[in-house]
Amino acid sequence: MCRLLAYLGSPVLLEPLLYKPEHSLIVQSYQPREMLCGVVNADGFGVGWYHSQKETEPFTYKSTLPIWNEINLPNLSRYVESGCVVAYVRSATLGQALDLSNCQPYQYQRLLFIHNGRIDKFRQTLYRPIRNQLSDEIYQLIKGTTDSEHIFALLLNQWQANPGKSLEQALQITLLQLQELAQSYQTYVSANVIISDGHRLIASRFSTKSPAPSLYWITNHSTFPKSVIIASEPLFAENWISCSENSIISVGEDCDITIEQI
């Protein structure tokens, strides 16, 4: 399973967010504390961020190297500043290819998407059923083979098919659809996801069997004032709040937080 991180708030350099915390995402790549399966997150990483002043599509930087072995990211992190960042370190599911097409975050227009979790026995169970649900446009967007990208495609499909619904509502419909498919094909799904359009964060802590992978949030920490951070594991010792299982957390432009049970 992967480790996730998302930030929304006052513009910040990537370095204090990715490298400075005592239990940073870098540390979590080789010494995670709360993973339900796997030992390290050495199968690549990705960072996505938005320009602080321009309404452009987001930027991404991905690699199949372990994040602790990537020599360019530290220098990049001292230069890039953003008010909205998503990042992850990967622990690949057995049998999934280690290439850039399978590296997150996945992008569609202004949206960035990261996922921690799994569809158990994905290729034997929900691979075809999910693809059968997709419009031709969304189907053609899939470049890799991961369950993560297929969950994102299913979400995009729901969002486009229901233009009157919010992204939060589309995410809830998608998770319930995955739950129904999992029951039909006798498998299970865990889907901690974070989605952003550069102005908001929308996250879920979800699993069709308990426990769901860990997910926490914290707001207005002294090092990161006027901000919200969502992470798989706390980055530092502080009053992090554990997200409820099977819930969706929405963070607005003013860092206001809304939590809804699925």
In the annotation, is 243 catalytic? no
Helix (H) or strand (E) holding 158: helix 147-161
Which amino acid is residue 144, in one-letter code? G
Burial of 236 (0-12, 13-18, 19+ CB in 10 A): middle
Question: How far apart are alpha carbons 61 and 211 in whole angstroms?
Answer: 31
Evaluated on CA atoms 259, 216, 240, 210, the torsion sign reads positive
Rg (CA), the chain: 17
Quote the tokens at residue 202: 């929308």
| Cβ–Cβ < 8 Å for 20, 62 | no
Catalytic residue among 2, 84, 103, 243: 2
Q: Which residues are catalytic?
A: 2
